[in-house]
Amino acid sequence: MSNIQLIIEERAADIGKFLVGRLLPFRQKRMIGPFIYIDHMGPIKLNEREQMDIRPHPHIGLSTLTFLFEGSIMHRDTLGNTVEIKPGAVNWMTAGKGIVHSERTPEYLRNKDKTMHGLQIWVALPKHLEQMEPEFFHIEADQLPAWSDGNVEIKLVAGEVMGHRSPVPVYSKLYMLEIKSLKRQTLNLGEHLYGESGLYILNGGIESEGNRFGPKQILVAKDASLCEFVIEADSTIYLFGGEAFPEERMIDWNFVATSKELIQAAKQKWKEQKFDKIPGDEAEFVPYPSLKK
């Protein structure tokens, strides 16, 4: 019997000026562990007249994880943080009861050609923390645990696995691993993983049970303890997952919660513009979709 429960292909999703490859949520699999939303952004080339300008917008009930392969994003939020996100760093913002942020091309790049490529991820918060105070942490690339195993290089982006712990302050039991192969090699990581498990192929490919799988796919494992596959040379994959929550999560636009009441309250608060404003980025905002003309 195959250990692969589901294969999720990237689907085009419009997030304003950008089309992204949406991987989660999926109608047959809403979450993998606490991971509730994954977008593959790019790669997209922008000229000196084109910018990434995602205007201020709100979140509740989740943590956002931004991880770039190429490019640069200037993050601003209502806690007063202004941080440039560069490739390999982890931008970890916990919305809790409510936060607003914007993501824009930095000023020094706005008159230049540039490339944007990365992952934008939402991790749902445990029910008892979904109304916590918002927080923000930025972890540079050289702070993430990294090691080699045969012909593969492994980096722990977030969580805890294989005796390593990322400095990203997560709030549930989870893991996100970057694995880059130098040569073709068989990997058996099942004994190290736990809970639900997904494997995302960024480039290259893997082979499992006589089948080959290529880029822009998430493979959802039936049992994380049986995660064995062949990774091809010059491939990059991401293993992620963790323990699932007992309670269902609802998503409405940028809001995640265990109850309709929390989502409705956040929607009304945003429509009435009662969320805090971002210092230095107060002039614009993204309206709730039902308010768009």
Domain assignment of residue 260, yes or no: no
Domain assignment of residue 288, yes or no: no
> Are the C-beta atoms of residues 194 and 165 closer than 8 Å to each other?
no
pLDDT surpassing 90 at residue 153: yes
Domain assignment of residue 53, yes or no: yes
Domain assignment of residue 72, yes or no: yes
Domain assignment of residue 286, yes or no: no
Q: What is the mean pLDDT of residues 9-15?
A: 45
Tell me the residue range of the domain where 131 lies: 4-242
What's the pTM? 0.88
Q: Which residue has the tokens 């931008």?
A: 91
Band the pLDDT of 209: cuts 50, 70, 90. confident
Closest CA to 81 of 281, 286, 287, 255: 281
Note the pLDDT tens digit of each residue in 221-263: 766 666 788 999 999 999 999 999 999 999 999 999 999 999 9
Domain assignment of residue 198, yes or no: yes
pLDDT at residue number 26: 52
Q: What is the 3-state secondary structure (H, E, C) of 88-144?
A: CCEEEEECCCCEEEEEECCHHHCCCCEEEEEEEEEEECCHHHCCCCCEEEEECHHHC
Domain assignment of residue 29, yes or no: yes
Note the pLDDT tens digit of each residue in 190-207: 788 888 888 888 999 988
Domain assignment of residue 107, yes or no: yes
Return the CATH number at 107.
2.60.120.10
> Are the C-beta atoms of residues 219 and 211 closer than 8 Å to each other?
no
- The tally of domains found in the chain comes to 1
